[in-house]
Chain A
Amino acid sequence: MDLQYASMHHDDIDNSVILCHACDLAVRRRALPSGVRALCPRCHTALYDTPFCSINGMLALCLSAVALFLPANLFPVLELHFLGSVRTATVFQGAMAVMDLGYWVVGIAVLVAAVIGPGLLLLSIMSQILLVKMGLNPGWQRDLYKWLLRRHGLFSQITMLEIYVISFLVSAFQLSDFSDIYFGVGTFSFTMLFLVTLFLQREYNIEHMWSRLND
């Protein structure tokens, strides 16, 4: 009897009150107009926004991002013309060039932030969407789904496409001092990959994804 009361009480708290992850304040959950974010009244940390997380919309964005991922990584992002010779560099070659010279911490950081991170993020969201479409049946589907959601924070934190895009411009301006710099197909694909991933991450709502496990 006691136990039943406790669990009912807990469910009640679960639905109407959320705790701030930064300061632990209990905040009553209210309906929000779309595009508005609820902030903690005590510490102003973002608590939740309207869950706008359409699976088909995300699937479309995810497919475009996957399609852009290969050209973004295979084609040169910068081209340098110097005394008649042409040098090109892909994102991957940039990371390998510093690693070859013994700076493997720098090389790994670049590789993780610009290639591996985005790759894992897209692969993870794609798998999550497919698992939801398959019905999220108890067993391996739910287990894999949980495993991926638990790692989502890490994957999105190590993805730094926006910073890499700015670094094209900085490198181009710096090198234009002694040579001619051209942007290539890779530059375009990489910038598009960044934009599509940005929209995908705005559409994606981790709490909404977790709540799919509740029913």
Chain B
Amino acid sequence: MTDNVQTTGKEMGQCLCPVCRKTNPVNVTNCSRCGADNQARDYGSLQKSWALLITAAILLIPANVYPITTLVNQGKVTHDTIFSGIKHLVHSDMLPIAIIVFTASILVPWLKIIGLATYLTAISFSLPVSKRRLMAGFHIIEWIGRWSMLDLFVISLTVALVNMGQLLDAKPAPAATAFALVILLTQLAAKVLDTRLLWDRLDLENDKH
């Protein structure tokens, strides 16, 4: 860091438009360029983000416990959960594919929920955690979150291709809906959060680097 003096927009009486990123004075109600609401901080975003995250965390249980696909192969019916599907891939020597599916459907959702929970706890209770590290984590979470969609794409293609009655038939199972909702809710939880709150509430002494 080269600048020793750090001024925030709030201290200067300026505020960044969340939609078009124009700087507006804090006392105006709407952005002069795009007309969006002009707010120095969105304090309600913390509650909204918690609500979405908790719902997602609850849905993660059925998403992992219930089967996500049902396969009929020559009259034999098998139900696969996310985890058993990955085990199949490992056993049929498709390790690279297994790693991709594991990352998209287990690692990413869990990382996202644990990461966002850590993040929200740190803001809500002003925990002494390095903000810089939290923010780096948040950027990773934002970026990898969408990759969970991979599993849903694979399911939809498989179901469309494999429908030959008792001989060979693939169908989605209840965990698919729960999993889709987990993706949607975690994306929203990260999206609604006003990250400027983190930098306001935690004091600088936790940031020795």
Contacts and interface: CB of A to CB of B under 8 A. Distances in A.
Interface string A81-113: 011010111000111111001010111011001
Interface stretch (A38-46, A49-57, A58-66, A192-200): A38-46
Contacts of A163: 146-147, 149-150, 153
Interface in B146-205: 146-147, 149-150, 152-164, 167-168, 171-172, 176-177, 180-181, 183-184, 187, 191, 195-196, 198-200
Interface string B109-153: 000000000000000000000011001100100000011011011
A26 B8 contact: yes
Contacts of A19: 8-9, 14-16, 23
A167 B152 CA distance: 9
Nearest to A166: B150
A123 interface: no
Contact of A170 (B101, B160, B162): B101
A105 B149 contact: no
A89 B161 contact: yes
Nearest to A18: B23
Interface residues of B, number: 69
B36 to A, nearest CB: 7
A113 B146 CA distance: 10
A86 to B, nearest CB: 10
B23 A13 contact: yes
B6 A178 contact: no
A45 B177 CA distance: 33
A24 B135 contact: no
A174 B158 contact: yes
A201 to B, nearest CB: 14
- Give the secondary structure class of B's interface: helix
Contact of B149 (A85, A95, A160, A206): A160
B23 A178 contact: no
B20 A23 contact: no
Contacts of B176: 98, 103, 106
Given A98-B176, A105-B181, A77 B199 contact: no
A78 B157 contact: yes
Given A174-B97, A210-B20, A25 B160 contact: no
Given A24-B8, A167-B153, 18 more contacts: A23-B198, A25-B9, A45-B135, A82-B168, A87-B164, A93-B160, A94-B160, A96-B160, A97-B160, A110-B149, A114-B153, A146-B33, A170-B97, A171-B158, A173-B94, A174-B94, A178-B168, A179-B168
Interface of B: 1-3, 6-10, 12, 14-16, 18-23, 25, 33-36, 73, 89, 92, 94, 97, 100-101, 131-132, 135-136, 139, 146-147, 149-150, 152-164, 167-168, 171-172, 176-177, 180-181, 183-184, 187, 191, 195-196, 198-200
